[in-house]
Protein backbone atom coordinates (compact mmCIF):
# COMPACT_ATOMS: atom_id res chain seq x y z
CA UNK A 1 0.00 0.00 0.00
CA UNK A 2 1.13 3.62 -0.30
CA UNK A 3 3.11 4.82 2.73
CA UNK A 4 5.59 7.57 3.57
CA UNK A 5 9.17 6.92 4.56
CA UNK A 6 10.63 9.38 7.10
CA UNK A 7 14.29 10.00 6.26
CA UNK A 8 17.03 12.49 7.16
CA UNK A 9 17.13 15.09 4.40
CA UNK A 10 20.76 16.19 4.63
CA UNK A 11 23.47 13.90 3.36
CA UNK A 12 25.69 14.83 6.33
CA UNK A 13 23.01 13.54 8.72
CA UNK A 14 22.52 16.84 10.57
CA UNK A 15 19.08 17.52 11.98
CA UNK A 16 17.17 20.79 12.10
CA UNK A 17 16.88 23.36 14.90
CA UNK A 18 13.42 22.14 15.94
CA UNK A 19 14.92 18.97 17.43
CA UNK A 20 16.90 19.06 20.69
CA UNK A 21 18.68 15.85 21.69
CA UNK A 22 18.00 15.02 25.35
CA UNK A 23 18.92 12.10 27.60
CA UNK A 24 15.29 11.59 28.64
CA UNK A 25 11.99 13.43 28.57
CA UNK A 26 12.34 14.51 32.23
CA UNK A 27 15.44 16.45 31.17
CA UNK A 28 13.47 17.99 28.29
CA UNK A 29 10.87 19.40 30.71
CA UNK A 30 13.64 21.22 32.60
CA UNK A 31 15.08 22.82 29.43
CA UNK A 32 13.82 25.90 27.64
CA UNK A 33 11.21 24.62 25.17
CA UNK A 34 11.83 24.78 21.44
CA UNK A 35 10.13 27.97 20.22
CA UNK A 36 7.01 27.62 18.12
CA UNK A 37 6.02 30.04 15.37
CA UNK A 38 3.26 32.16 16.97
CA UNK A 39 1.30 32.84 13.77
CA UNK A 40 1.20 29.18 12.75
CA UNK A 41 -2.28 27.70 13.10
CA UNK A 42 -0.87 24.33 14.18
CA UNK A 43 1.92 23.55 16.61
CA UNK A 44 2.84 19.97 17.47
CA UNK A 45 5.44 19.08 20.00
CA UNK A 46 6.58 16.52 22.46
CA UNK A 47 9.46 14.37 23.49
CA UNK A 48 10.52 10.92 22.37
CA UNK A 49 12.43 8.90 19.79
CA UNK A 50 12.13 9.29 16.02
CA UNK A 51 9.28 6.78 16.07
CA UNK A 52 7.23 9.37 18.00
CA UNK A 53 7.87 11.91 15.24
CA UNK A 54 6.89 9.35 12.59
CA UNK A 55 3.71 8.73 14.56
CA UNK A 56 2.97 12.48 14.68
CA UNK A 57 3.53 12.68 10.92
CA UNK A 58 1.21 9.73 10.37
CA UNK A 59 -1.58 11.50 12.29
CA UNK A 60 -1.07 14.75 10.36
CA UNK A 61 -1.05 13.06 6.96
CA UNK A 62 -3.69 10.43 7.81
CA UNK A 63 -1.37 7.89 6.17
CA UNK A 64 1.20 5.37 7.44
CA UNK A 65 4.67 6.85 8.06
CA UNK A 66 7.63 4.54 8.70
CA UNK A 67 10.75 5.76 10.52
CA UNK A 68 13.69 5.07 8.21
CA UNK A 69 15.97 7.79 9.60
CA UNK A 70 18.38 5.45 11.37
CA UNK A 71 18.63 8.14 14.07
CA UNK A 72 18.60 6.89 17.66
CA UNK A 73 18.10 8.75 20.90
CA UNK A 74 15.46 10.94 22.48
CA UNK A 75 14.46 14.38 21.22
CA UNK A 76 12.41 17.30 22.49
CA UNK A 77 10.62 18.83 19.53
CA UNK A 78 8.20 21.50 18.44
CA UNK A 79 6.86 21.90 14.90
CA UNK A 80 4.84 24.86 13.56
CA UNK A 81 2.92 24.39 10.33
CA UNK A 82 -0.22 25.10 8.34
CA UNK A 83 -3.00 22.53 8.25
CA UNK A 84 -3.07 23.00 4.47
CA UNK A 85 -0.67 20.40 3.03
CA UNK A 86 -0.08 22.61 -0.02
CA UNK A 87 0.36 25.90 1.89
CA UNK A 88 1.86 28.66 -0.25
CA UNK A 89 2.31 31.21 2.57
CA UNK A 90 6.04 31.29 3.31
CA UNK A 91 5.43 32.53 6.87
CA UNK A 92 3.41 29.42 7.75
CA UNK A 93 4.78 26.37 5.91
CA UNK A 94 2.92 23.19 5.01
CA UNK A 95 3.53 20.15 7.22
CA UNK A 96 6.07 18.50 4.86
CA UNK A 97 7.95 21.81 4.40
CA UNK A 98 7.98 22.46 8.16
CA UNK A 99 9.27 18.93 8.77
CA UNK A 100 12.12 19.57 6.33
CA UNK A 101 13.00 23.11 7.47
CA UNK A 102 12.53 22.73 11.23
CA UNK A 103 13.54 19.10 11.78
CA UNK A 104 15.82 18.35 8.81
CA UNK A 105 13.60 15.37 7.92
CA UNK A 106 11.88 14.45 4.69
CA UNK A 107 8.82 12.38 3.77
CA UNK A 108 9.29 10.17 0.72
CA UNK A 109 6.20 8.56 -0.80
CA UNK A 110 6.76 4.86 -1.33
CA UNK A 111 4.96 1.53 -1.03
CA UNK A 112 5.18 -0.94 1.80
CA UNK A 113 3.36 -3.40 4.03
CA UNK A 114 0.53 -2.01 6.15
CA UNK A 115 -1.45 -3.77 8.88
CA UNK A 116 -5.14 -3.89 7.98
CA UNK A 117 -8.21 -5.29 9.71
CA UNK A 118 -10.37 -7.55 7.55
CA UNK A 119 -13.92 -8.37 8.67
CA UNK A 120 -15.01 -11.51 6.88
CA UNK A 121 -18.50 -11.90 8.29
CA UNK A 122 -21.08 -10.04 10.38
CA UNK A 123 -24.22 -11.55 11.94
CA UNK A 124 -26.84 -10.03 14.22
CA UNK A 125 -26.53 -11.11 17.85
CA UNK A 126 -28.59 -14.10 19.03
CA UNK A 127 -30.77 -14.12 22.12
CA UNK A 128 -29.38 -15.79 25.23
For 66-115, the pLDDT digits (tens) are 999 999 999 998 888 887 666 566 677 888 998 999 999 999 999 998 88
Rounded to whole angstroms, the Cα distance separating 7 from 110 reads 12
Q: What does each C-alpha distance from 91 to 32, 35, 94, 105 come to in angstroms?
A: 23, 15, 10, 19
How many CB atoms sit inside 10 A of residue 13's CB? 11
Q: Give me the count of residues in the chain.
A: 128
On whether the CB atoms of residues 6 and 69 are closer than 8 A, the answer is: yes
Q: Which residue has the higher pLDDT, 24 or 84?
A: 24
In a domain, 76, yes or no: yes
In a domain, 124, yes or no: no
Give the dihedral sign, CA 23/24/26/29: positive
On whether the CB atoms of residues 54 and 99 are closer than 8 A, the answer is: no
As a whole-number percent, the residues of the chain with pLDDT over 90 amount to: 43
In a domain, 121, yes or no: no
Q: Which residues contact 56 (CB under 8 A, 6 or more apart)?
A: 44, 46, 79
Question: What is the average pLDDT score of the chain?
Answer: 85
In a domain, 119, yes or no: no
In a domain, 56, yes or no: yes
Q: Between the ranges 23-27, 104-108, 112-116, 123-127, where is the mean pLDDT highest?
A: 104-108
Q: What is the mean pLDDT of residues 19-34?
A: 74
Predicted confidence at residue 33, as pLDDT, reads 54
Domain enclosing residue 77, as ranges: 2-111
In a domain, 77, yes or no: yes
Q: Which among 69, 73, 70, 71 is positioned nearest to 23, based on CA atoms?
A: 73
In a domain, 117, yes or no: no
What's the maximum distance between 2 C-alpha atoms anywhere in the chain? 66
As a whole-number percent, the residues of the chain with pLDDT over 70 amount to: 82
Predicted confidence at residue 88, as pLDDT, reads 60
Amino acid sequence: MPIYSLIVERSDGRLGPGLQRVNDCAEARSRKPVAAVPEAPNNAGGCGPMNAIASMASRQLAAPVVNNTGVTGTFAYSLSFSADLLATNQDVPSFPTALRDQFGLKLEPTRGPVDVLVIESVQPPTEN
